[in-house]
Amino acid sequence: MALFSPKSIIVTQPEYQTLSTFVVFAIAIAIPGYTMPEPFHGSCLCKAIEFQVDAAPVAVSTCHCLNCKKYTGTAFTTNVIFPHGSAKITKGTPSTYHDSAQDSGNALARVFCPTCSSPLFNLGGDFGKTLAVFYGALDDFNVCVDPHPVVVAAPPGARELEVTRTAVAPQVEYYVKDRVSWVSPVLGAEQAQTKPGR
């Protein structure tokens, strides 16, 4: 199941407010000429490694497992999930750490920059079916709210829509049993105690 169709957009509606922030109201509508920016491009912090992903994302997830936390040195990871085999290195030579001690029993090849140590992506997810790219490693995956909204002309008699491309939030959180106490659940995301199917 695809995360969104090639013509999906995010529409913000100021009248929907919670905790003083705008709730992002997602609507998939067709806009002539709007497509997801495939391929997606990514890089490490020092720019020695660059890569691209030639596929549409399947999902965005957050993982609270102990290995993901240790690997990144953070409280959790956020990943954009793509089909296996859809990434290719376009600059540099990354290093790989083979992580076979996963609680899920699924061994991962963790790809990172040997110079700056930035984690880039994991190979072998879902027992070889997926590629998990670290959200922050992607350079053009709508990681920031676009400050320049696009006004979409509506059909006669309908109101125009102000469209803003915005960050895509995780649809699922894995290993919430290991989530640190000060991290709140992602609003609307499935909360999986481990990894479904394990």
Query: Burial code of 153-170, b = ≥16 C-beta within 10 A, e = fewer?
Result: eeeeeeeebebbbbebeb
User: Does residue 4 have a pLDDT over 50?
Assistant: no
For the stretch 74-131, pLDDT in tens is: 999 999 999 999 999 999 999 999 998 877 778 889 999 999 999 999 998 887 889 9
Q: What is the pLDDT of residue 168?
A: 75
Residue range(s) in the chain whose domain bears CATH number 3.90.1590.10: 40-138+171-191
pLDDT value, residue 197: 55
Asked whether residue 5 carries a pLDDT value surpassing 70, the answer given is no
Contacts of 182 (CB under 8 A, 6+ apart): none
Distance CA 54, CA 86 (A): 5
| pLDDT tens-digit series, residues 133-148 | 999 999 987 644 344 4
Q: In this predicted model, what pLDDT tens digit does every residue of 169-188 receive, in sequence order?
A: 899 999 999 999 999 999 99
Task: Assess whether pLDDT exceeds 80 at residue 12.
Answer: no
CA dist 121 → 70, 91, 104 (Å): 15, 15, 18
Proportion of the chain in helix, strand, coil states, percent, rounded to 5: 10, 40, 55
**CATH (residue range 40-138+171-191):** 3.90.1590.10
